[in-house]
Structure 1
């Protein structure tokens, strides 16, 4: 049984309904990507903390050297201010690999051209499967803070990109560069990663987070379980972990208290609701109506309320009243998921950003 969101029915609909100008943009982007080299964690130029170049490593995004000490230790956190040194590590290549795979898969499904699917297969094999370049299936050194020997629990947010990536993988047509054997090999990789995800102290701590970090933990567990054909595991995560988060994360007016407390309050409100939208879409596939579910208190908001709370701010009908020190957040991805899998969205312009398209 196919447990993916972007199934054959989804792609048939896109082939017939996606405007020609959007398809042309997809093909132009895919043609450009055909000329790009594959990516790997082993290509980094900074030394890995473990000494193993196959280990993924990223720098804690909002941490900076302490200006008051000679060695910069201990580093200090500046919420919302991204340290530019983050670009030296593996997160940027991870973003690019996921984006490129999504674009190429989309182009392959819309056009039927094998060349796009073959290039997507090359990206996946280089990042996950080739012994010389494969990433080890853990994030033990994600978002490390200098002075510490390992990564941080919040580093798990880096792999939220696996959620759309696995939808692309599930949609990728088999070809000379991506065979059924390769698909099974990737399932073995994600089985090992899943076992790390549910047992290692770093992600286990992340699961307990009240913020978007906890929501994205659930989204990853559910997406990977569905990819591995384990719907019962996905359903258990939704019932035992995700649903209890609703009372904690949503105010009665639909605002998200732990996200509006941030310096990028609108950005993180959107980001958290994107995770929830993915969870709700998978839940719907499993026969659980999460989008409109309320707790035992009828006064509590549901996810649908949270989206409609944000909608006027995202469309410019209301001015955001909380702190937002950075640019206006990207939100088309959120609209795409909700429109495609949960409910019609007013004035929504169809796109395929669900598969990492810009």
Structure 2
């Protein structure tokens, strides 16, 4: 239950759980639709525990978690008729970019007609002014605790033509944020279902392979391995330091899905693995060397923790174990800085939705702890100089989650 409260999608309907003390026993379930006969090779997963995946598969005749197992297959079935997705399917490329560049828009910025010294700073000098610069400025509304509804609903009819030449649209339909979520979630669910299903049923692995190849590997449809145009503010910033947030925990699910498919899944080849490793290496290089990546690393909230999580996961996936160990060891200083002696998270408490961001940061920390366990670093039991730790931070939010205090 604790892991569900934290929103750890890595658990995926309970097949592998992460809780406050670390990973618990792999879940078991009905063998009616799942293969309990073979003992597979261990998956070199970076968040999931490959040995526990084997244990789960060997105990599928037990019925205690039959509901969760059935739910996993049901979710995988729901993806069979969807996709594939690609960055090139959006109607317009990001400013100064191409359709192959991932793009998204910052959620806490709103358009306003009146420029003042109080609500707008100087425009970005990284590009030439556009017609929007004279018509609209963008103001941060952090203090009002309001997300820009244009990302989820519709832009004002008078603003939309200036932005894209259209009348009304949902911003998420012209960027890539929803699509990458679908790629990550579908490939993870489909790969896990293939793993637990009878080996002769390849429709799940083939669908996962199609989603991954279309988004990452096919030169005609693939995403460039960077996030230079993520979290952009139109007319102001082409990309911002919180770039990693759009991938957050999702991309680690892709890394694990690939490792599961590497066990011999139909539709996924050795060449696919080689090309995916190359893409991951290029993305990792961008994260550690780009200005936006360095800025993300220097932040002091969940953005920095997600950055560490992503770099550690990618490093481990491409065989850079020492680099992964260095990154997860650095996470101890993140715990010292971001978790207070009372186990709250002050830098998340001041955010627009403090409850959400307390949980969100713990998603990053706990996944990072799982990655750390693969390289011999124990973040689950680490305690800072003032007693700070992940277990206490989780215990801090539980009363609110259980409606035990206002």
**TM-score, normalised on structure 1?**
0.83
Is residue 229 of structure 1 aligned with residue 319 of structure 2? yes
Where do residues 26-41 of structure 1 align in structure 2 (5 Å cutoff)?
26-41=72-87
By percentage of residues, which structure has more helix?
Answer: 1
Deviation at 1:35, TM superposition (A): 1.1
Report if aligned partners of 2:343, 2:393 keep a CA contact under 8 Å in 1. Answer: yes
Deviation at 1:75, TM superposition (A): 3.6
Residue 169 of structure 1 is matched in structure 2 by 258
Report if aligned partners of 2:45, 2:260 keep a CA contact under 8 Å in 1. Answer: no
Distance in 1 of aligned mates of 2:138 and 2:46: 44
Poorly superposed stretches of 4+, deviation over 6 Å: none
Match of 1:265 among 354, 363, 369: 354
Instruction: Report the CA distance shift for 1:5/1:140 in structure 2 as closer, same or farther (over 3 A).
Output: closer
Is residue 212 of structure 1 aligned with residue 212 of structure 2? no
Match of 1:182 among 238, 247, 272: 272
Q: Secondary structure at the match of 1:65?
A: strand
Report if aligned partners of 2:45, 2:256 keep a CA contact under 8 Å in 1. Answer: no
Match of 1:142 among 221, 226, 230: 230
Deviation at 1:149, TM superposition (A): 5.5
Report if aligned partners of 1:153, 1:203 keep a CA contact under 8 Å in 2. Answer: yes
Report if aligned partners of 1:66, 1:76 keep a CA contact under 8 Å in 2. Answer: no
Where do residues 23-62 of structure 1 align in structure 2 (5 Å cutoff)?
23-62=69-108
Q: Which string of whole-angstrom CA distances, capped at 9 and with x for unpartnered residues, describes residues 36-63 of structure 1?
A: 1200000001332124110001011111
Match of 1:151 among 239, 243, 248: 239
Residue 242 of structure 1 is matched in structure 2 by 331
Report if aligned partners of 1:139, 1:156 keep a CA contact under 8 Å in 2. Answer: yes
Q: Secondary structure at the match of 1:142?
A: strand
Residue 77 of structure 1 is matched in structure 2 by 141
Larger radius of gyration: 2
Report if aligned partners of 2:103, 2:229 keep a CA contact under 8 Å in 1. Answer: yes
Bigger Cα displacement from structure 2, 37-46 vs 164-173: 164-173
Distance in 2 of aligned mates of 1:103 and 1:226: 22
Report if aligned partners of 2:93, 2:101 keep a CA contact under 8 Å in 1. Answer: no
Deviation at 1:176, TM superposition (A): 4.1
Report if aligned partners of 2:309, 2:368 keep a CA contact under 8 Å in 1. Answer: yes
Where do residues 316-327 of structure 1 align in structure 2 (5 Å cutoff)?
316-319=403-406
Residue 401 of structure 2 is matched in structure 1 by 314
Deviation at 1:103, TM superposition (A): 1.2
Structure 2 unaligned segments of length 5 or more: list them: 1-41, 116-133, 152-170
Q: Which string of whole-angstrom CA distances, capped at 9 and with x for unpartnered residues, describes residues 263-282 of structure 1?
A: 21010000001111011112
Residue 116 of structure 1 is matched in structure 2 by 204
Structure 1 unaligned segments of length 5 or more: list them: 320-358
Residue 348 of structure 1 is matched in structure 2 by none
Q: Secondary structure at the match of 2:398?
A: helix
Distance in 2 of aligned mates of 1:51 and 1:312: 46
Is residue 128 of structure 1 aligned with residue 216 of structure 2? yes
Bigger Cα displacement from structure 2, 63-72 vs 103-112: 63-72
Deviation at 1:3, TM superposition (A): 5.4
**TM-score, normalised on structure 2?**
0.74
Distance in 2 of aligned mates of 1:96 and 1:200: 26
